[in-house]
């Protein structure tokens, strides 16, 4: 012990003096390095890492806005929102996810589950974020899952609103459909509200008024912990429901038109000639817009797009046809308006018309004899209008056709409208580099040749005859209303152009159209109602390039795709027209036999519905 004390006493700390000097430096520099690193992380990269920590903890649980309702003119809903059910699993709430999914498969059937067995590391770290297993399950499947919920821990059902198009294909081409927003639509979005996965209008009114209908999605900003379990709600934004749209369509008339077109390919449009309001618009065959709700499969889409009857197309505004004999009112108007004929001017029809060494036949080979404008319209004498066309010339015909709104977009508030074509001399030179042939004018005068129009354009032109010369922009939407009834936008009738034709000349044409339906020999006999109040015109449009080839062959003996298109346009009551209808039956054969009966059903339905509404209105009044 004493020896050791002695040892201590010999101690000289000078030996370590240098070592301590170095040590102080080593320690200070080491600690400074840590502080420099902290400066880098906390001050230089501080805001960036602050953002990362915010992203770590905040999640947005979106609640989708409910889309606005689309109603007919009487307030009848044409589309509703329906709850749709998605099945998800919360992996963190289950001991073994695969076991539960297997149990679910046993209950639900193994088809259609989106579950992937290879859960990513990210999902493993966020076990309280639900994973989608199945979308839009049926009521039966849902109730199966719910009754077995004891065996299915962690399985949750999300309610998502989806569109329910009450009448399916009947209103498909007016209302359109919705689908998931595309990359292009996201880029084009100026509101900045659209996000991937949102559903937007893809066609029809759904697309045209999407910004009104869509509403604004809300959501909850929730704070989550590291495993994704909710800690608290930071902020809640209620979704703003979309606005309602009231159309000019009459659901009852739409239904009548739809039923009248059953089994036919073509379209029906009905319009109020007094203000251009569209009352019905049917294109047949149609697609079921409800198909797009659950995300259309590739197979279904292929089937729709490969269908030779083009169900996706709205034939009323996208189908372009030769106007056929329905064009004769334009030829008549041009001849009258230019003073070339009077209503009393007559031409002789012996069944054909010669220009140079070319012969143009009348549909009636026997000929109509000497006919005035009235008889020519009633019997649809081709030769009479060949004469007019030759005298008027193609450019004047085109001028009048355009004044009536043919060959140009009508401006209907629907996407993808087609313009059609009214040829002129200049057009042909530009298009083909060839001068106009006089014989081509002859074809144009009865609505054949290069002419193509849409059924809606045709209807618009006839409405101008019906109302004394005003061409309206077709009106499909009455107004947009907020949920509280506030009117956000009113769509008043808009005049597109006024045809400058004297009342006398207008009347002459109108009387001729009345005769078509009500006089003996008239081609529109199908519209001979007891009230004798319908005026109209048949049309039979030859399919382009088939002229002459099937001469003498009865329509129903030809192959379907080369048969003539059947057209019919009419309005009623003739003295004060309030409804006009255009019908095109593709490859239907004769306008009088194939298209006119469809128009008849629509006209009848119109007056029936009108009577019902009047009765209801009177009943309301008497109660007061």
Binding site for other proteins (CB under 8 A): 7-9, 11, 13, 16-17, 19-20, 23-24, 27-28, 30-31, 33-35, 37-39, 41-43, 45-50, 52-54, 56-57, 121-122, 124-125, 223-227, 231
Q: How far is the CB of 22 from other proteins (least distance, A)?
A: 10
Distance CA 539, CA 590 (A): 7
Can you give the length of the chain in residues?
624
Q: Closer to other proteins at the Cβ: 23 or 495?
A: 23
Task: Read off the tokens for 50.
Answer: 């602050």
Distance CA 564, CA 391 (A): 28
Q: How far is the CB of 50 from other proteins (least distance, A)?
A: 4
Q: How far is the CB of 454 from other proteins (least distance, A)?
A: 58
Q: How far is the CB of 211 from other proteins (least distance, A)?
A: 37
Q: How far is the CB of 40 from other proteins (least distance, A)?
A: 9
Pairing of strands 58-63, 218-224: antiparallel
Q: Closer to other proteins at the Cβ: 17 or 190?
A: 17
Q: Cβ of 386: how many Cβ atoms within 10 Å?
A: 25
Which residues on adjacent β-strands are paired with residue 270? 280, 581
Handedness of CA 132, 136, 137, 140 (dihedral sign): positive
CA-nearest of 270, 264, 273 to 250 is: 270
Q: If you ran DSSP here, which 8-state letter would residue 168 be given?
A: G
570 neighbors 517 (Cβ within 8 angstroms): yes
Q: How far is the CB of 229 from other proteins (least distance, A)?
A: 9
Which residues on adjacent β-strands are paired with residue 178? 201
To the query of whether residue 277 is one of the catalytic residues in this protein, the response is no
Q: How far is the CB of 480 from other proteins (least distance, A)?
A: 44
461 neighbors 471 (Cβ within 8 angstroms): yes
Distance CA 180, CA 99 (A): 32
CA dihedral 393, 397, 398, 403 (to 10 degrees): 150
Catalytic residue chosen out of the listed positions 325, 372, 443, 445: 325
Distance CA 567, CA 122 (A): 63
- Burial string for 519-540 (b: 16+ CB within 10 Å, else e) reads beebbbbbbbbeeebbbbbbbb
Q: Closer to other proteins at the Cβ: 14 or 159?
A: 14
C-alpha separations of 618 from 576, 608, 611, 612 in Å:
22, 15, 10, 10
Q: Closer to other proteins at the Cβ: 234 or 544?
A: 234
User: Reduced to 3 states, what is the DSSP secondary structure of residue 616?
Assistant: helix
Q: How far is the CB of 158 from other proteins (least distance, A)?
A: 25
Q: How far is the CB of 90 from other proteins (least distance, A)?
A: 18
CA-nearest of 495, 468, 483 to 577 is: 468
Q: How far is the CB of 492 from other proteins (least distance, A)?
A: 56
Distance CA 570, CA 599 (A): 8
Strand locations in 467-558 (E): 470-473, 477-481, 487-490, 494-498, 535-541
Q: Closer to other proteins at the Cβ: 220 or 338?
A: 220
579 neighbors 570 (Cβ within 8 angstroms): no
Q: How far is the CB of 222 from other proteins (least distance, A)?
A: 11
Q: Closer to other proteins at the Cβ: 122 or 150?
A: 122
Handedness of CA 466, 472, 473, 478 (dihedral sign): negative
Q: Closer to other proteins at the Cβ: 205 or 224?
A: 224
- Burial string for 494-515 (b: 16+ CB within 10 Å, else e) reads eebbebebeeebbebbbbbbbb
Q: Closer to other proteins at the Cβ: 31 or 186?
A: 31
Q: Closer to other proteins at the Cβ: 43 or 306?
A: 43
595 neighbors 538 (Cβ within 8 angstroms): yes
In degrees and rounded to multiples of 5, residue 268 shows phi and psi of -130, 130
Q: Closer to other proteins at the Cβ: 157 or 234?
A: 234
Distance CA 175, CA 173 (A): 6
Q: Closer to other proteins at the Cβ: 49 or 616?
A: 49
Task: Read off the tokens for 441.
Answer: 């004018």
What positions carry a catalytic annotation?
A: 325
């Amino acid at each position: 012990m004493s020896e050791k004390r002695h040892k201590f006493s010999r101690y000289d700390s000078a030996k370590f003096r240098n070592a301590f000097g170095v040590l102080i430096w080593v320690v200070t520099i080491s600690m400074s390095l840590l502080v420099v690193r902290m400066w880098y992380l906390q001050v230089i990269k501080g805001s960036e890492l602050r953002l990362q920590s915010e992203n770590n903890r905040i999640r947005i649980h979106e609640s989708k806005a409910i889309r606005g309702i689309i109603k007919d003119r009487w307030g009848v809903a044409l589309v509703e929102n329906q709850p749709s059910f998605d099945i998800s699993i919360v992996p963190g709430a289950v001991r073994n996810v695969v076991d539960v999914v297997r149990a679910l498969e046993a209950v639900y059937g193994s088809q259609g589950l989106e579950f992937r067995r290879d859960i990513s590391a990210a999902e493993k770290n966020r076990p309280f974020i639900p994973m989608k297993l199945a979308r839009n399950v049926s009521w039966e499947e849902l109730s199966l899952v719910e009754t077995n919920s004891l065996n299915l821990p962690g399985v949750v059902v999300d309610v998502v609103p989806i569109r329910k198009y009450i009448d399916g294909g009947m209103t498909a081409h007016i209302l359109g459909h919705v689908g998931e927003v595309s990359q292009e639509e996201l880029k084009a979005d100026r509101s900045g509200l659209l996000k991937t996965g949102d559903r937007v209008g893809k066609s029809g009114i759904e697309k045209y008024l999407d910004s009104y209908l869509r509403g604004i999605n809300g959501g909850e900003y929730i704070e989550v912990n590291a495993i994704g379990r909710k800690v608290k709600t930071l902020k809640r934004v209620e979704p703003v429901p979309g606005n309602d749209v009231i159309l000019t369509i009459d659901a009852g008339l739409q239904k009548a038109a739809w039923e009248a077109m059953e089994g036919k390919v073509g379209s029906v449009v009905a319009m109020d000639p007094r203000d251009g309001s569209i009352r019905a618009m049917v294109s047949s065959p149609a697609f079921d817009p409800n198909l797009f709700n659950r995300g259309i499969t590739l197979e279904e889409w292929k089937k729709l797009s490969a269908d030779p009857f083009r169900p996706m197309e709205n034939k009323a505004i996208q189908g372009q046809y030769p106007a056929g004999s329905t064009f004769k009112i334009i030829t008549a108007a041009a001849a009258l308006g230019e003073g070339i004929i009077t209503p009393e001017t007559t031409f002789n029809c012996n069944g054909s018309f010669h220009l140079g060494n070319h012969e143009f036949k009348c549909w009636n080979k026997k000929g109509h004899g000497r006919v005035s404008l009235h008889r020519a319209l009633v019997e649809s004498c081709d030769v009479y209008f060949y004469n007019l066309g030759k005298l008027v010339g193609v450019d004047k015909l085109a001028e009048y056709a355009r004044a009536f709104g043919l060959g140009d977009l009508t401006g209907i508030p629907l996407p993808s409208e087609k313009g059609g074509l009214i040829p002129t001399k200049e057009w042909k030179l530009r298009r083909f580099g060839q001068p106009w042939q006089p014989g081509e004018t002859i074809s144009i005068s009865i609505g054949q040749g290069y002419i193509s129009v849409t059924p809606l354009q045709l209807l618009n032109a006839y409405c101008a005859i019906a109302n004394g010369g005003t061409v309206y922009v077709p009106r499909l939407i009455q107004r947009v209303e907020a949920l509280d009834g506030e009117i956000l936008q009113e769509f008043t009738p808009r005049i597109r152009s006024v045809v400058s034709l004297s009342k006398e000349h207008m009347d002459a044409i109108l009387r001729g159209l009345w005769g078509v339906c009500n006089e003996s020999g008239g081609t529109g006999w199908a519209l001979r109602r007891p009230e004798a109040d319908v005026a109209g015109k048949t049309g039979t449009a030859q399919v382009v390039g088939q002229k002459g080839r099937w001469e003498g062959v009865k329509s129903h003996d030809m192959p379907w795709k080369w048969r003539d298109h059947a057209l019919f346009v009419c309005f009623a009551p003739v003295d004060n027209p309030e409804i006009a209808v255009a019908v095109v039956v593709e490859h239907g054969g004769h306008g009088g036999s194939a298209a006119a009966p469809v128009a008849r059903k629509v006209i009848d339905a119109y007056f029936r519905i009108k009577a019902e509404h009047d009765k209801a209105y009177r009943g309301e009044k008497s109660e007061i």
